[in-house]
């Protein structure tokens, strides 16, 4: 079945029928959730094969189809690379080509879970409030058409089909880096369902389940050079491998309405409350990732490993953890935050992971609230200085202007990109005032805090005057 992929690699066998539909079949899920599920089935059985759905383009489907949906996951350790073949996918559907086929798959009686990695912007919500943005063009489309475009649209229409067929709902398992991601996706699904059919919303609210999760594994985008290196390593060409670091963590609220794979047997932490884990990971990992991405990019660093190899940045990130982020966190059960920070420093430094600052810099308007702005707001409310994170926000603004320190164009990827670029003015105070008027990004506590506006303006002035590296050095 896995034509072209060598049998001598370690295999995760599984021939079980599909019990999971996954929306957003990017590299992250294939290197994280899919592997946990495959291992859980290999260990404890169960019909948890996965049907992947690409919500945008056919590329992944077209590359995986000739391989019988199998692919190599290449672990990039500091001391070497270890491939394994993952055979848990049963099919890949491309939503824009055939949305009905996606709805049919999601409404199949064998499907018990619909998981998602559709990125922050895929939920069509307001990042600052967590509520559905009913004016989002895809949501407006999905309100009027039975064949949806958006992830919330697919969830609602598929749940409606199940109710109409007398089937129970599936569990909606959000695997994106959103705070309280289960509650957010439940909120957008119920908001949309209510606009379509209030009785459907009541049924979903009563019968459905939306466990929160914390997901973690660094998965840099696969490059053409990776394909060549892997082919040399294994002797076979895989057109759709994924690259990942050795570390992985998945913390899941144990609230499933129709069963689940035996995830606990393969190291998934099944807990009652994911919130402290989410805060730890979003603020300590993703918060510093974004800070290093904007400042590192402006300082001319291509990857996170390159950035933290620069001693000025290595000192800066440690100071962010120690002085600005950890003081605002409650440690989750069993976690030591100082040790977690040390482990992150080692993960960032892994030279085998070529994780581009440009890749992490994407979609800043969707990421900053949960990664950085919450820590800043809590720090300021507690009277704690947060100069490093404030500098990171200034760097985001500079990055979003679309020009780097040499005046060269930056390819800014963000749903708000044109709007952000237009906010850039010659006068830093006016630039800051413009950005702070973005209610969908900045919480009220920061929008209404003149002290924050002043600090941010000073940070931006320094950034423009001295450049990113010198500004970071001044904070070290
Ligand atoms: C990164 C994340 O691209 C980004 O925004 O911060 O993808 C990060 O690598 C993962 O969340 C790690 O678990």
Cα 206 to chain centroid distance, Å, stands at 28
Atom 5 of ligand 1, residue of closest alpha carbon: 360
Give all strands of the β-sheet with 89-94 in edge-to-edge order: 89-94, 49-54, 18-23, 113-116, 171-174
Model pLDDT, residue 15: 62
Atom 4 of ligand 1, residue of closest alpha carbon: 360
Q: Provide the b/e sequence for 460-476 (b: ≥16 CB within 10 Å).
A: bbbbeeebbbebbbebe
Q: Are residues 222 and 343 in the same domain?
A: no
Distance in Å, CA 104 to ligand 1 centroid? 32
Rounded Cα distance between 446 and 344, Å, is 28
Rounded Cα distance between 226 and 214, Å, is 28
DSSP string for 141-153: HHHH-SS--SHHH
Report the CATH number that the domain containing residue 90 is assigned in CATH. Answer: 3.40.50.720
- Domain end call among 225, 247, 271: 271
Q: Are residues 22 and 118 in the same domain?
A: yes
Report H helices in 322-449.
337-349, 357-361, 364-368, 374-381, 387-400, 417-423, 428-436, 444-447
Task: Tell me which residue range forms the domain holding 443.
Answer: 275-473
Q: Are residues 185 and 289 in the same domain?
A: no
The ligand 1 atom at the shortest distance from the C-alpha of residue 217 is 13
Distance in Å, CA 43 to ligand 1 centroid? 28
Q: What is the mean pLDDT of the chain?
A: 95
Model pLDDT, residue 476: 63
Which residues does residue 116 pair with via DSSP β-bridges, in sequence order? 23, 174
Any domain includes 420: yes
Q: Are residues 355 and 416 in the same domain?
A: yes
| Dihedral sign, Cα of residue 158, residue 163, residue 164, residue 167 | positive
Using pLDDT thresholds of 50, 70 and 90, give the confidence band for residue 127.
confident
- In angstroms, the first-to-last Cα distance of the chain is 54
Any domain includes 380: yes
Model pLDDT, residue 78: 85
- Domain end call among 271, 287, 317: 271
Tens of pLDDT, residue by residue over 193-246, are 999 999 999 999 999 999 999 999 999 999 999 999 999 999 999 999 999 999
- For the chain, the domain total comes to 2
CB-CB contact of 56 with 96 (8 Å): yes
Residues above pLDDT 70, as percent of the chain: 96
Using pLDDT thresholds of 50, 70 and 90, give the confidence band for residue 130.
confident
The ligand 1 atom at the shortest distance from the C-alpha of residue 290 is 6
Q: Alpha carbon of 32 to those of 29, 53, 255: distances in Å? A: 5, 16, 20
Distance in Å, CA 360 to ligand 1 centroid? 7
299 φ, ψ to 5°? -85, 0
Q: Which of 27, 76, 177 most suits a substitution to test ligand 1, by most atoms within 8 Å of the C-beta? A: 177
Tens of pLDDT, residue by residue over 288-304, are 999 999 999 999 999 99
CB atoms within 10 A of CB 405: 15
Q: Which of 181, 286, 291, 317 most suits a substitution to test ligand 1, by most atoms within 8 Å of the C-beta? A: 286
Q: Are residues 447 and 403 in the same domain?
A: yes
Model pLDDT, residue 349: 97
Q: Are residues 117 and 260 in the same domain?
A: yes
CB-CB contact of 341 with 318 (8 Å): yes
Name 317's Cβ contacts closer than 8 Å, sequence gap at least 6.
288, 291, 292, 308, 345, 348
More confident residue, 7 or 134: 134
Distance in Å, CA 220 to ligand 1 centroid? 9
Tens of pLDDT, residue by residue over 143-202, are 999 999 999 999 999 999 999 999 999 999 999 999 999 999 999 999 999 999 999 999
Burial of 409 (0-12, 13-18, 19+ CB in 10 A): exposed
223 φ, ψ to 5°? -110, 165
Q: Are residues 216 and 264 in the same domain?
A: yes
Model pLDDT, residue 1: 37
Q: Are residues 158 and 245 in the same domain?
A: yes
Tens of pLDDT, residue by residue over 8-64, are 445 555 566 799 999 999 999 999 999 999 999 999 999 999 999 999 999 999 999
Going by their DSSP bridges, the two strands 49-54 and 71-77 should be labelled as unpaired
Q: Are residues 318 and 430 in the same domain?
A: yes
More confident residue, 247 or 12: 247
Atom 10 of ligand 1, residue of closest alpha carbon: 218
Atom 13 of ligand 1, residue of closest alpha carbon: 216
Rounded to two decimals, the pTM is 0.95
Rounded Cα distance between 318 and 461, Å, is 24
Q: Are residues 95 and 184 in the same domain?
A: yes
Report the CATH number that the domain containing residue 409 is assigned in CATH. Answer: 1.10.1040.10
Rounded Cα distance between 383 and 327, Å, is 12
Q: Alpha carbon of 218 to those of 221, 242, 278, 339: distances in Å? A: 10, 11, 16, 18
Distance in Å, CA 361 to ligand 1 centroid? 10
Atom 3 of ligand 1, residue of closest alpha carbon: 360
What ipTM score was computed for the predicted complex, to two decimals? 0.99
Q: Are residues 131 and 172 in the same domain?
A: yes
Nearest CA to 421 among 436, 410, 405? 410
Any domain includes 2: no
- Domain end call among 218, 238, 271: 271
The ligand 1 atom at the shortest distance from the C-alpha of residue 216 is 13
Distance in Å, CA 167 to ligand 1 centroid? 36
Residues with a CB atom less than 6 Å from ligand 1: 177, 216-218, 285-286, 289, 359-360, 367
Model pLDDT, residue 307: 98
Q: Which of 24, 26, 27, 28 most suits a substitution to test ligand 1, by most atoms within 8 Å of the C-beta? A: 28
Model pLDDT, residue 5: 52
Any domain includes 184: yes
Nearest CA to 53 among 101, 12, 107? 101
Which residues does residue 77 pair with via DSSP β-bridges, in sequence order? 80
Any domain includes 1: no
Any domain includes 82: yes
Distance in Å, CA 362 to ligand 1 centroid? 10
How big is the chain, counted in residues? 476
Asked if the model's pLDDT at residue 359 lies above 70, the reply is yes
Name 208's Cβ contacts closer than 8 Å, sequence gap at least 6.
159, 169, 170, 171, 172, 186, 189, 257
Nearest CA to 39 among 191, 212, 199, 250? 250
Model pLDDT, residue 13: 53
Model pLDDT, residue 17: 75
Nearest CA to 270 among 281, 255, 282? 255
Q: Are residues 322 and 461 in the same domain?
A: yes
More confident residue, 265 or 78: 265
Rounded Cα distance between 471 and 390, Å, is 11
More confident residue, 5 or 317: 317
**Rounded mean pLDDT, 404-421:** 97
Atom 8 of ligand 1, residue of closest alpha carbon: 218
Rounded Cα distance between 291 and 392, Å, is 5
Distance in Å, CA 429 to ligand 1 centroid? 31
DSSP 92: E
Distance in Å, CA 162 to ligand 1 centroid? 34
């Amino acid at each position: 079945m896995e034509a072209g992929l060598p049998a001598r690699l370690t295999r995760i066998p599984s021939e079980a029928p599909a019990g999971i539909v996954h929306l957003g079949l990017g590299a992250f899920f294939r290197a994280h959730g899919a592997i946990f599920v495959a291992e859980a089935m290999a260990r404890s059985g169960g019909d948890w094969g996965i049907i992947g759905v690409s919500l945008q383009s056919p590329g992944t489907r077209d590359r995986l189809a000739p391989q019988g949906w199998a692919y190599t996951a290449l672990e990039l350790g500091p001391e070497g690379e270890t491939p394994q073949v993952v055979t848990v996918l049963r099919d890949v559907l491309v939503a824009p080509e055939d949305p009905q086929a996606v709805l049919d798959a999601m409404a199949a009686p064998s499907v018990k879970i619909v998981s998602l990695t559709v990125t922050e912007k895929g939920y069509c919500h307001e990042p600052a409030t967590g509520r559905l943005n009913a004016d989002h063009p895809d949501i407006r489309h999905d309100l009027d058409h039975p064949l949806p475009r958006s992830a919330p649209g697919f969830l609602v229409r598929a749940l409606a089909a199940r109710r109409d067929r007398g089937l129970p709902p599936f569990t909606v398992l959000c695997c994106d880096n959103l705070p309280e991601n289960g509650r957010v996706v439940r909120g957008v699904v119920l908001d949309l369902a209510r606009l379509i059919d209030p009785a459907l919303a009541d049924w979903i609210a009563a019968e459905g389940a939306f466990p929160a999760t914390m997901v973690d594994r660094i998965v840099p985008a696969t490059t053409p050079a990776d394909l060549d290196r892997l082919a040399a390593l294994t002797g076979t060409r895989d057109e759709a491998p994924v690259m990942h670091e050795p570390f992985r963590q998945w913390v899941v609220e144990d609230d499933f309405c129709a069963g689940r794979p035996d995830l606990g047997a393969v190291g998934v932490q099944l807990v009652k409350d994911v919130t402290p884990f989410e805060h730890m990971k979003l603020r300590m990992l993703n918060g510093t990732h974004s800070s290093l991405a904007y400042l590192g990019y402006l300082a001319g660093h291509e990857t996170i490993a390159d950035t933290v190899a620069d001693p000025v940045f290595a000192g800066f990130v440690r100071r962010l953890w120690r002085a600005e982020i950890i003081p605002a966190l409650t440690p989750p059960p069993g976690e030591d935050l100082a040790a977690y920070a040390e482990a992150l420093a080692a993960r960032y430094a892994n030279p085998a992971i070529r994780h581009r600052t440009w890749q992490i810099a994407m979609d800043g308007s969707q990421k900053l609230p949960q990664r950085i702005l919450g820590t800043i707001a809590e720090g300021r409310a507690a009277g704690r200085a947060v100069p490093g994170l404030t500098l990171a926000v200034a760097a985001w603004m500079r990055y979003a202007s679309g020009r780097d320190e040499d005046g060269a164009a930056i390819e800014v990827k963000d749903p708000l990109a044109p709007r952000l670029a237009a906010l850039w003015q010659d006068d830093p105070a006016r630039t800051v005032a413009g950005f702070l008027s973005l209610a969908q990004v900045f919480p009220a506590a920061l929008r209404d805090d003149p002290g924050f506006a002043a600090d941010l303006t000073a940070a931006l002035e320094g950034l423009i005057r001295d450049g990113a590296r010198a500004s970071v050095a001044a904070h070290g």
